[in-house]
Structure 1
Amino acid sequence: MQLTIDVENIKCGGCAGSIKKGLSEDPRVQSVEVDVAEGRVSVEAGEDIRAELVARLTKLGYPEKGSVEGMQALKAKAKSFVSCAVGRMGDDK
């Protein structure tokens, strides 16, 4: 099953790396693709786990577009900054 989610705060390959790693931890996820330019995450999964993926993305700092406002949006942006940095360090390996 192909699931596509438009998300906030994707800025670079480090962000994409963190998203791929974070979502791939779920054994039901078969593949993850991130389109940085479009802010889109595509996941191939054996079943409809969209709600779980959206929750995980929000926890990583990449909430679904239009789903958070105000302080929640600022909090997500801060989380995405850290997540991005972690993803960049993973690229150096």
Structure 2
Amino acid sequence: MEYKIYVQNLKCGGCAKTITNKLNGIKGVSNLNIYVEDSLVILNCTEIILEKVKETLKKAGYPEDGEQNSLSSKAKSYVSCAIGNIG
């Protein structure tokens, strides 16, 4: 099933690369597309895997819209942004 997840802290291609690397590591995720300008992640997976996807995004610093966006999440996203732009 296709899911659309609007996330916070998605700012650039480096962020998108980090998210891609994290989510491609989850078995059962397919057809992954990230739209930086819309802060949107679209993917196919089961409902059970969706919870793992959301938790992975949150741990990487990209919580779903409406979730708490702590200073820690913002800092993680800046670090992963920088790493994504380097790699």
Do these two structures clear the TM 0.5 threshold for a shared fold by scoring above it?
Answer: yes
Partner of 1:8: 8
CA distance in 1: counterparts of 2:53 and 2:22, whole angstroms: 10
Larger Rg: 1
Partner of 1:76: 73
| CA shift for structure 1 position 31 | 2.6
| CA shift for structure 1 position 58 | 0.3
Partner of 2:37: 37
RMSD of aligned Cα (Å):
1.0
Structure 1 unaligned regions, length at least 5: none
> What's the TM-score once normalised by structure 2's chain length?
0.92
Moved over 3 A (4+): none
- The residue type equivalent to 2:72 in the other structure is K
- The residue type equivalent to 1:8 in the other structure is Q
Report how many aligned residue pairs link the two structures. Answer: 86
SS at match of 1:3: strand
Does residue 55 of structure 2 align to residue 58 of structure 1?
A: no
| CA shift for structure 1 position 13 | 0.3
Structure 2 unaligned regions, length at least 5: none
CA distance in 2: counterparts of 1:42 and 1:83, whole angstroms: 19
Tell whether the 8 Å contact from 1:6 to 1:65 is kept in structure 2 after alignment.
Answer: yes
